[in-house]
């Protein structure tokens, strides 16, 4: 059953407030009162939807990961380096810009660090499968190759976001695809 529009708006407002505040504070410094003041909601409304700020953060993470999996599900592993794959991934990144900026930040408490770690592991485990057609000497070599590609992709998106997303998703996708495909081509020779 689909949620009422007002419920979706309330939950969306609380999520956006949480992500915004987490860019400047550790989660253990964030109060329900602060989030309610930012969203112009009362505390009772908050507690209808969430147990506490940690529950809200868990729901944000779960929703984002579910949406991430929906993007991945559109592509078989052999297409994880296609231009359209990078475009969809970067549209997803742009949509969740504030969350990514929080994840790429250099601060955080244990819960935020766990969130960063969980999300990066999810991207690593699911985001870059496509390079299986090479004759790697062993699985370890393939894993390092994929980790290298992932680190490059994360670096590109981090730089793009932190510099205000001046280039379009399409331009960054082309740059990313060209780098990755040239690297794959060089490696396969």
pLDDT score for 189:
66
Q: If pLDDT is split at 50, 70 and 90, which confidence band does 91 have?
A: very high
Domain ranges of the chain: 57-188
pLDDT score for 48:
93
pLDDT score for 147:
80
Q: How far apart are CA 3 and CA 73, in angstroms?
A: 24
Q: If pLDDT is split at 50, 70 and 90, which confidence band does 39 have?
A: very high
The per-residue pLDDT for range 92-143, each reduced to its tens digit, is: 999 988 888 877 766 555 555 666 666 666 666 665 555 555 677 887 887 7
Structure tokens at 36: 């309610």
Answer whether 61's CB lies under 8 Å from 115's CB. yes
Tokens 């969203």 belong to residue: 39
Radius of gyration of the CA atoms of the chain, in A? 19
Answer whether 177's CB lies under 8 Å from 149's CB. no
Q: How far apart are CA 97 and CA 164, in angstroms?
A: 10
Alpha helices in 83-138 (DSSP H): 83-95, 97-104, 110-126
- Compare 147 and 48 and report the one with higher pLDDT: 48
Of 33-37, 64-68, 91-95, 133-137, which gets the smallest average pLDDT? Answer: 133-137
What's the Cα-to-Cα distance from 31 to each of 9, 18, 133, rounded to whole Å?
Answer: 20, 10, 50
Fold of domain 57-188: Tetracycline Repressor; domain 2 (1.10.357)
Q: How far apart are CA 153 and CA 32, in angstroms?
A: 35
Q: How far apart are CA 104 and CA 139, in angstroms?
A: 29
Structure tokens at 154: 């994360």
pLDDT at residue 162 is higher than 60: yes
Q: How far apart are CA 13 and CA 26, in angstroms?
A: 19
């Amino acid at each position: 059953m689909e949620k009422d529009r007002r419920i979706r708006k309330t939950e969306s407002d609380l999520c956006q407030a949480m992500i915004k505040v987490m860019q400047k504070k550790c989660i253990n410094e964030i109060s329900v009162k602060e989030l309610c003041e930012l969203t112009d909601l009362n505390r009772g409304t908050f507690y209808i939807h969430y147990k506490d700020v940690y529950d809200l953060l868990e729901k944000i993470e779960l929703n984002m990961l579910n949406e991430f999996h929906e993007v991945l599900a559109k592509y078989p592993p052999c297409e994880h380096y296609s231009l359209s794959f990078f475009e969809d991934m970067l549209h997803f990144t742009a949509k969740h810009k504030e969350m990514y900026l929080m994840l790429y930040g250099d601060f955080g408490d244990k819960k935020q660090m766990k969130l960063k770690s969980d999300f990066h592991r999810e991207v690593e485990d699911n985001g870059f499968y496509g390079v299986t057609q090479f004759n790697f000497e062993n699985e370890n070599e393939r894993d390092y190759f994929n980790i290298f590609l992932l680190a490059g992709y994360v670096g590109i998106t981090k730089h793009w976001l932190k510099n205000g997303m001046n280039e379009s998703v399409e331009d960054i996708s082309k740059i990313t695809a060209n780098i990755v495909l040239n690297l794959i081509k060089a490696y396969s020779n």
